[in-house]
Structure 1
Amino acid sequence: MKRILFPTDFSEAANNAFVYALHLAKSINASVYVLHVYELPIYSSMYAGQLDYVQKLYQDLELDKFDNYKDKVPQLHNIAKQYDLDDIEISFIFEKGLFQDVIKTVIKRDAIDMIVMGTTGLNSANGTLIGSNTVNLIRSVSQPVLSVPRLAKFEGIKSIGFTTLFRDADKEPLTELLKIADFFQAQVKLLHVQTKENESMPQLLEEWKAIFNHERLSFHIINSKDVESTALQFIIDENIDFLAVVKRNRNFFDRLFNSSMSQKLAYHSTIPVLVIREGA
């Protein structure tokens, strides 16, 4: 990965994720593209026939947005300098439009490899761990998306968690994850929560071990009917630095971001979640 896209609203949570993104970029020799997206409102019909007035409203609003953006950019430079990360190549992008549309345009135009986004933790308004923008983005792009909680601190990557249902579609993401692990000299700890007895599991496990005969990979099969709590306890017990989830595993994905597990993770809001697209 050589190019990291970092969308920001300049909030405290975003600024924390910015530091994480810079540390990550330094570790993998990547550049960071900082993107701020703004959307102009649609004025109602009460201004019909007042085209000049509406145009001035838009011009004034755009100027105000740009002035705010110009004020924030030096703050990010200062944050990078504060953490001795000002040697990272950083590009700043200011774009008008719908959030997801702009993201997709930038990804294609600038050949983005990965997206890093800040999350605020538990959102009391809807009971979810991360905002709708992040969830919708994860579902609509093919690049890996790393969601960084507001209390997360980059202390290197030593232990990576990976949840799987042992589907063929999980093999390609695991292959990519092992490449990341090699780069960081980290361990990948594969977790499968077995909710019911499966007689074919021993054979399936041996097949996967044969395919992924990798010194950095360990397999953890846990019998439990409570997938969320088991995964959370696994994260804690194994000192996981970030949890990797395959998008194809929609049931777990939805529970991860929209259930009581969100609340539990919020109390341990230091663990980033990497969402990887499913394989073929």
Structure 2
Amino acid sequence: MKTIVCPTDFSACANNAVVYANQLANKTQARLVLVHSTFVPDAMPYAGISVHAATSTYGEEMMYQDRLVNLCQELKKQNPNSLVAYATKVGYRPVTDEIAHVANTENADLIVMGTTGAHGLKEIVLGSNTADVIEISRRPLLVVPEQASFAPIKHIIFAADLTREHPANIALTVELATLFGAHISFLHVLREDNFMTGTTAKIEYSHRFSGIGYDKVSFHTQEDENIERGILTFGKTHKADLIVMVNHQQSFWRSVFSNSHTKEMAYHTTIPLLAIHD
């Protein structure tokens, strides 16, 4: 991992994601690019980034540039011996366009963003903003919940759709697992209409992912009519540090998060979610 892009509006939620991104950059020795957009359209709520309409002047752009530089200096103080190289970008585009633009021009390996609470998670998956970032940039996106704090990643859940998943989709997951020495639990949620049984799903897993070049893996199924709830239940029971999902298309996200909120959803506010484009 060479470059991480992280947007911020300097709010507590967004800056929590910045701290997380900084710790991850320190671990991977990646370059960290902090981004701020001076323009956010009305009526387009952005999870983790506050909403306001703004037109920027040169003076305002310089002010935000100074704030980003100061933020970088604070991050350096947290890790004085760090080899992380910092860069800052202030743009005038709508926030999703600016993030995608910077991620693409910087050839980012990862985008890290904040989100607020259970409602925020549903919005960040279904709403046009983050979905647009995924589609436009086609870069992996790490969503950091407001209450999450960085800790060494010991357990990763890779929530897979066995009818579609390909081993190439898990390269970043294996990279992170190798870096932290983490265990990867491959999870398939079984519903009543699923053609697979728990046994056949595990066999399919072992055939499909046996050649990924990483040994600390296990294969699991969770029976639940609600995919979201099944993932969260498994994550809570097995103390996940990171949940990984592949964004095949917008309809997949809708099928996962289209149901009404459940009380388990609140748990998801403490687990970062990594969305990978196929």
TM-score of the two chains, using structure 2 as the length reference: 0.81
Alpha-carbon distance in structure 2 between the residues aligned to 1:244 and 1:167: 17
Post-superposition CA distance 1:105-164 (Å, at most 9, x none) = 32332221110011122458x973677532331233211000101111111111001111
Q: Residue 4 of structure 1 corresponds to which residue in structure 2?
A: 4
Q: Residue 74 of structure 2 corresponds to which residue in structure 1?
A: 78
Q: Residue 243 of structure 1 corresponds to which residue in structure 2?
A: 243
SS in 2 for 1:155: coil
For 1:128, which of 123, 128, 132 is the aligned residue? 123
For 1:67, which of 57, 63, 68 is the aligned residue? 63
Does the 8 Å CA contact 1:33/1:92 hold for their aligned counterparts? Answer: yes
Matched-pair identity in %: 30
Q: Residue 206 of structure 1 corresponds to which residue in structure 2?
A: 203
The structure-2 alpha-carbon separation of the partners of 1:71 and 1:175, relative to structure 1 and needing over 3 Å to count, comes to closer
Alpha-carbon distance in structure 1 between the residues aligned to 2:97 and 2:107: 15
- Report the CA distance between 1:197 and its aligned residue: 5.9
Unaligned runs of 5+ in 2: 42-54
- Report the CA distance between 1:19 and its aligned residue: 0.8
Larger radius of gyration: 1
Q: Which amino acid aligns with 1:108?
A: N
Q: Residue 36 of structure 1 corresponds to which residue in structure 2?
A: 36
Q: Which amino acid aligns with 2:84?
A: I
Post-superposition CA distance 1:249-275 (Å, at most 9, x none) = 655523655654486433552211000
* Greater mean alpha carbon deviation, residues 181-190 or residues 15-24: 181-190
Post-superposition CA distance 1:37-61 (Å, at most 9, x none) = 12288xxxxxxxxxxxxxxxx7x73
Q: Which amino acid aligns with 1:196?
A: E
Unaligned runs of 5+ in 1: 42-57
The structure-2 alpha-carbon separation of the partners of 1:27 and 1:82, relative to structure 1 and needing over 3 Å to count, comes to closer
Q: Residue 53 of structure 1 corresponds to which residue in structure 2?
A: none
- Report the CA distance between 1:32 and its aligned residue: 0.3
The structure-2 alpha-carbon separation of the partners of 1:101 and 1:236, relative to structure 1 and needing over 3 Å to count, comes to same
- Report the CA distance between 1:167 and its aligned residue: 2.6
Alpha-carbon distance in structure 2 between the residues aligned to 1:188 and 1:198: 23
**How many residues are paired up?**
262
- Report the CA distance between 1:10 and its aligned residue: 1.1
The structure-2 alpha-carbon separation of the partners of 1:99 and 1:71, relative to structure 1 and needing over 3 Å to count, comes to closer
